Structure 1
């Protein structure tokens, strides 16, 4: 039996996707959303230091994009 990706696995794939010009980002967001549901979570926290655009506008754009796909994004405090 193949195990489902964890929230951490899905988050890491999103970091990789962001660093690869958003390759397959929508697939990874869908995987993350499913992992959050399985874990009983409503939001995911990202490390802003691992983002490609770690500035306010980059973070807001990422939050808006994920929100449109049903995932609430928070960031670790720096």
Structure 2
């Protein structure tokens, strides 16, 4: 299995979110591994690319990812 980059996994997560969260748990696990390999603590997402770009949608995403061990922050 090749090492994933944070950017590649983030793109896969955007795609998954657009397709009704298809394989989202798998992508979150990959993101967690990529963050650990890079020594990063948080995953950064562009809020404008989210299908549900409102406060409730962002908080739901942060909560879901946090339950799986990934801290999420949003860029303006």
Find the aligned partners of 1:25 and 1:34 in 2 and give their Cα distance.
Answer: 14
Identify unmatched segments of 5+ residues in structure 2.
Answer: none
Match of residue 75 from structure 1: 74
What is the TM-score normalised by the length of structure 1? Answer: 0.94
Partner of residue 51, structure 1: 50
In structure 2, distance between residues paired with 1:72 and 1:29: 11
- CA deviation string 1:25-58 (max 9, x = no partner): 0000000000000000010110001101000000
Give the unaligned 5+ runs of structure 1.
none
User: Deviating runs (4+, > 6 A) in structure 1?
Assistant: none
Aligned residues: 76
Whole-angstrom distance in 1 between the partners of 2:3 and 2:17: 22
Which residue of structure 1 aligns with residue 22 of structure 2?
A: 23
- Alpha-carbon RMSD across the aligned residues, in angstroms, is 0.8
TM-score (norm 2): 0.97
